[in-house]
Amino acid sequence: MTAAQPFNVRVREIVELAPSLKRFSFEPVHGGVFPTPPAGGHVLLTLRDGARVMKNAYSLVSPPSERSRYDIIVRLVAQSRGGSSHLHRKVAPGDVLEMANPVSLFPLISTAKKHLLIGGGIGITPMLSFLPELKARGARFELHQLATLEEVPVFERLLAPYAAGEEIRVHGGGRAAFDLAGLLARQPLGTHVYVCGPHSLMEAVASTAAALGWPKTKVHKESFGGDITGLPFRAVLRKSGIEVEVGESQSLLEAIEAAGVEAPCLCRGGACGQCATPLVEGEAEHRDDFLSAEEKAAGTLIMTCVSRARGPRIVIDL
Amino acid sequence: MSDQGMKSRPTYAPLAPDPSGRHHLLVVEAAEVPAEALAEGVVPSAFEVWTVARRSAVPSAPAMEEAPGSVAIFRSVTHLFSALEERLARETMGLRLYAAGAEPFLWDVWGRAEKAGLSRQETAFAEVGPKARRIYCVHCRTVTEGVTTSIFTCPGCGASLFVRDHFSRRLAAFMGVQVDAEVPGEVPEAEELYA
Ligand code: FES
């Protein structure tokens, strides 16, 4: 499945939340309203910079009930993959961009007795779309946001509209000061935990939860791509009969798309599994959160959106 | 012709503690843990065990140690269930709940577990004791005790009933539905199923 038919949106407003954080508001180009997005949903933006085409997925942070606009928050990262820095530096209000329908790979579980949300840094974004939904449902929840000291006030401001009487905490002291095991150990039966943030945080939540007896089905991760850079390599696309060169700061998926080959994808962050492609030859350096340890060891699949080749060349069935 | 695919029905197998769990609570519809309820090599002391003695001599508030190997005895199933509800309400993630008994008991345990937010992955059930079913004829409402075959004749209306896996908690009985409703007289062989 590739993302649904794209449509055009106009940039309505850009707000600088912090030096590296901007909120972009989009509205439909031809007036009217957007479809109701799922809570925790995200959109795929296609950004064009000259001949270069970048596709990035961003969580919607506007409430699902808000259909006149879609908001996203984008962090400008030093070694940006292009999309985020393009949005930060080149996109201005009034510009028209191509967006694909919101999909949710990170849904709220309706049978949960309690929702425990853990965000790390920009991983706050899907949480921001969950909060109004949880409030509207009258659901029991608790949110812990990890941030750098400088960004604590930014996140506190973003969370303020939902904070009244709720268990919402922003931790600025780094991971060491955050008692993850204690938090997970005291959750009532029927709790589901949702974590979004750097790979290391998601791994820590998953492994701590497992050690405390949480079933896998109650631990939900949404990754943020993380680092996709690495040594360049060559990928042979067997079915398409072409070879692509994957650059240092480019993902395999981006290289495939740049060559004009349609490849399946959805989250572009190693979480959804859509881009799984059979690996025919060569070894993969797995960086996704989708394949199990056994599947990674078996080495027969590669997630093109985040994973790379371990050697100079791989052959994939695409 | 058996509709084992019922979503709400627990599956049954001899019990063994799930190594991924943190606490293991086993509730039993009898005074002792029946040997056939446990998988090979598993001993009752691997669990915190709750049993039902059906005796008035049992202390009304069982000592709760909440540790593997501890045994709490309840004077009735009702007594055990009210303690279970209270316990599940204050339990934390990591609990595994196991139950051994006849099917209606297991259904009742599953109902309480589900209400407390436990999933299939956090529960396990072993069916022990008589498996004969109590059948409710959906056509004439006659209840027949001790049915052990997949198809039987309703003593109330004479219909050939197929015993469904659908258990009504309200009626504490399985549903019996006419098998030859479409082609009268076409009744498959009855199988001995629930002896
Ligand atoms: S696109 Fe979702 S895992 Fe690759």
Longest dimension (CA), chain B: 59
d(C-alpha B14, C-alpha A3), whole Å? 45
Can you point out the beta strands (E) in chain A?
6-18, 21-28, 41-49, 52-59, 70-75, 96-104, 114-120, 141-146, 167-171, 191-197, 219-223, 233-237, 242-246, 276-281, 284-285, 301-303, 308-309, 313-316
d(C-alpha B130, C-alpha B111), whole Å? 21
| A193–chain B nearest CA distance, Å | 11
B122 touches chain A (CB under 8 A): yes
Lowest-pLDDT choice from A75-89, A279-293, B146-160 = A75-89
d(C-alpha A150, C-alpha A135), whole Å? 28
Task: Supply φ then ψ for residue A81, to 5 degrees.
Answer: -80, 5
The CA radius of gyration of chain A, in Å to the nearest whole number, is 20
Residue with the larger pLDDT of the pair A84 and B1: A84
- Asked if A186's CB is within 8 angstroms of B117's CB, the reply is no
**Residues having CB within 6 Å of any atom of ligand 1:** A 265-268, 270-275, 288, 290, 303, 305
| B170–chain A nearest CA distance, Å | 23
CA of A306 to the centre of ligand 1 (A): 8
Which DSSP string corresponds to B96-110? EEEEEE-HHHHHHHH
- Asked if B90's CB is within 8 angstroms of A213's CB, the reply is no
In the DSSP assignment, the letter for residue A36 is P
Give A188's contacts in chain B (Cβ within 8 Å): 90-93, 117
Give B93's contacts in chain A (Cβ within 8 Å): 184-185, 187-189, 191, 209, 212-214, 218
Domains along chain A? Answer: 7-103 (2.40.30.10), 114-221 (3.40.50.80), 233-316 (3.10.20.30)
Residue with the larger pLDDT of the pair A94 and A49: A94
Nearest CA in chain A to B119: A190
Taking residues B26-42, report their average pLDDT: 93
Kindly tell me if the per-residue pLDDT of A140 is higher than 50: yes
Confidence bin at B58 (pLDDT 50/70/90): low
For A53, the token pair is 């085409």
Task: Supply φ then ψ for residue B27, to 5 degrees.
Answer: -110, 135
Are the C-beta atoms of residues B195 and B132 closer than 8 Å to each other? yes
Kindly tell me if the per-residue pLDDT of B3 is higher than 60: no
Confidence bin at B8 (pLDDT 50/70/90): low
- Asked if B117's CB is within 8 angstroms of A213's CB, the reply is no
B82 touches chain A (CB under 8 A): no
Confidence check on the interface: ipTM exceeds 0.85, yes or no: no
Give B96's contacts in chain A (Cβ within 8 Å): 213
Domains along chain B? Answer: 23-127 (3.40.50), 130-195 (no CATH)
Kindly tell me if the per-residue pLDDT of A225 is higher than 80: no
Helix (H, G, I), strand (E, B) or coil at A136: helix
Taking residues B44-56, report their average pLDDT: 89
Specify the ligand 1 atom closest to the Cα of A268. Answer: 1
pLDDT score of B19: 94
